[in-house]
Chains A and B, each alone.
Chain A
């Protein structure tokens, strides 16, 4: 009996989670990078919490973006090298759907841990305790949108040598709206403002990404497999 789409996606997700936990170094690298970047700023800028607080949204979001880029390189690369992506493409299941499942796992393994660990970095940047939930929520939502947009770039750079550099060049311009609205949400959270407007915009980008990014990523992967 042919496997249903939901079960196929579940199997892809379970497989990727199992693989990730057997190679925890790939999981920890972006997280460690984020923590180090966020820690370096207080050491180099100023010890004054009020000034650090002003820089906190930018530091947190640029750190999160660069950390996501580190992990994006691995999103499809290993699967392309060992023939798994070919098997996905020939499985009779929708490649778009399978890649969406993989992208969700990518967010679970990088974007979500990054958002959950952000309060540790945020404390060092003088972010008040009452703003922490908003910081976590905006980074989690923005991280999901970043994973979706990054999936397109990861698909496009599959066949490229030095794909990592090209991936950054493709992803960074597309990630600017996420960075702007995410940093705005964090800034408003710190100053006690209304965070709903930038969060709605981040949500809209995520929904748009969910609709279009897997389709574009699947088309890019098919080209990359040729």
Chain B
């Protein structure tokens, strides 16, 4: 599906993956995360093959796929407590602050299955924020979000970059990101 893709990202850089449907944006993100095994090539992290130190690499990345990884029968707050809790020690105060930051606090105690797609996305973004990961891999992070939500995603990415983090995001729509440290990689444009 993908051939000849090569790029490097350093601290404070955002790589936007663009391209038509089926160009391989999600595939590339999953390959970087280690969810797909590429037939050839490798992903390096801090100068070493990520595959060799998989758990260490994964501890430094947060991946948000097409669908927010949330349990419908748990509340947003419970989801974050468990999903982030297995990665790092997280306090209720931190969860509250992250939910507040993404605007998910008002509905954080409702079962996720009763939330709209945009509300779920906000809860999931709070989860990404809470991981404190150096590398964010985001697949269409602004899907289902309103205009204010899209601005929120742009701001969160900006904050991550200013903290020295790295963001690789597959996007279809303009996120209105600052040009500092922004690299666009168009897939399927041989």
Bound: A18/B71 CA distance, A? 11
Complex contacts, A19 vs chain B, CB 8 Å: 71, 73-74
With contacts A92-B56, A92-B58 known, is A11 near B85, CB below 8 A? yes
- Contact, CB under 8 Å: A93 / B63: no
| Residue A12 is within 8 A (CB to CB) of chain B in the complex | yes
Report A8-24 CB contacts with B as 1/0, cut-off 8 Å: 10011011001100110
Contact A93 B78 (CB under 8 A): no
Chain B 29-74 interface residues, beta-carbon cutoff 8 Å to A: 33-37, 55-56, 58-61, 63, 65, 67-74
User: What's the minimum C-beta distance from B86 to chain A, rounded to whole angstroms?
Assistant: 4
- B35 and A2 contacting across the interface, CB-CB below 8 Å: no
Task: Say how far A30's CB is from chain B's closest CB, in angstroms.
Answer: 19
Residue A151, interface by CB 8 Å: no
Pair A8/B86 contact, Cβ less than 8 Å: yes
**A86 and B65 within 8 A (CB):** yes
Range, interface on chain B = 20 to 34
Chain B CB within 8 A of A45 CB: no
Answer yes or no: B83 CB below 8 A from chain A CBs.
yes
Q: Mark B98-119, 1 if CB is under 8 A from A, else 0.
A: 0000000000000000000000
Residue B96 interfacial (CB < 8 Å): no
Contacts across chains A and B counted by CB atoms under 8 Å: 82
Contacts of A3 in B (CB 8 A): 85-89
- Size category, A interface: 20 to 34
User: With the chains together, A35 CA to B69 CA distance in Å?
Assistant: 36
When the two chains form their complex, are residues A2 and B61 in contact, meaning their CB atoms are under 8 A apart?
A: no
What is the chain A residue whose CB lies nearest that of B30? A226
* Majority secondary structure of chain A interface residues (helix, strand, loop or mixed): helix
A82-B69, A90-B58 as given contacts; A225 in contact with B74, CB under 8 Å: no
Q: What separation, in Å, do the CA atoms of A98 and B67 have in the docked complex?
A: 22
Q: Do B61 and A90 touch (CB < 8 A)?
A: yes
A90 and B85: CB pair below 8 A? no
In the complex the two chains form, is A2's CB within 8 Å of B69's CB?
A: no
Q: Is B69 a contact of A84 with CB atoms below 8 Å?
A: yes
Jot down 30 A-B pairs with beta carbons below 8 A, ordered by A.
Answer: A2-B59, A2-B89, A3-B87, A3-B89, A8-B85, A11-B81, A12-B82, A12-B86, A15-B71, A15-B74, A15-B82, A18-B78, A19-B73, A23-B73, A83-B68, A86-B63, A86-B65, A86-B69, A87-B63, A87-B83, A88-B86, A89-B58, A90-B58, A90-B63, A91-B58, A91-B59, A92-B58, A92-B60, A94-B55, A226-B35
What is the interface of chain A, defined by CB distance below 8 A to chain B? Answer: 1-3, 7-8, 11-12, 14-15, 18-19, 22-23, 82-84, 86-94, 98, 225-226
The 3 closest A-B pairs by CB, nearest first: A92-B59, A83-B69, A15-B82
